[in-house]
Amino acid sequence: KVIRQLEKSKMAKTQTLWEKREQEKKDARRAFKKEKKARLKEEALKFEEERKAKEPEEREHLQQIMAGSAMETIHPGDKPVKLKRKELRKAFAKKRKEEKAAVRTEVRNKRRALGEAVDKGEDAQRARARIAEEKRNAVVQ
């Protein structure tokens, strides 16, 4: 620290006006950063104190909620809402996948049946009508 001050005093004697201004800017920036760091530390401490002061109040509020929802305690098996949503999304995606697969197999079967009917010599339009009729009958049953 003393060495730095000596260097500053030496530099102050030999510095040009522009260099002095640059040095002042650097010093001002350093001082601002120190103040900012101290202010942030203070705010963090204040926030921590407030959180500790509110903790019993929050615990009481949570107990009231649990009493209202017929839960005695928070079990490790109880999942947070975020996880429940995630599981719901997964289940929905799985269901949609299965539906798409069912449609694909249905289209494949329809195409195969139409091909077999045409191979046997049946008219394509009549075969399509027959397949549609069979599908309607299957849905009704």
Check residue 34 and give its pLDDT: 96
- Domain stops at, among 42, 60, 75: 75
Does one domain contain both 41 and 12? yes
How many structural domains is the chain composed of?
2
Q: What is the pLDDT of residues 82-101, one digit of tens each?
A: 677 888 888 899 999 999 99
Q: What is the pLDDT of residues 113-137, one digit of tens each?
A: 888 888 888 888 888 888 888 888 8
Q: What is the pLDDT of residues 38-85, one digit of tens each?
A: 999 999 999 999 888 888 888 787 777 766 665 555 555 555 666 778
Does one domain contain both 63 and 86? no
| DSSP string computed for the chain | -HHHHHHHHHHHHH--HHHHHHHHHHHHHHHHHHHHHHHHHHHHHHHHHHHHHHHHHHHHHHHHHHHHTT-SS--TTPPPHHHHHHHHHHHHHHHHHHHHHHHHHHHHHHHHHHHHHHHHT--HHHHHHHHHHHHHHHHH-
Check residue 136 and give its pLDDT: 85
Maximum pairwise Cα distance, the chain: 109
- Domain stops at, among 59, 75, 91: 75
- Domain stops at, among 75, 102, 118: 75
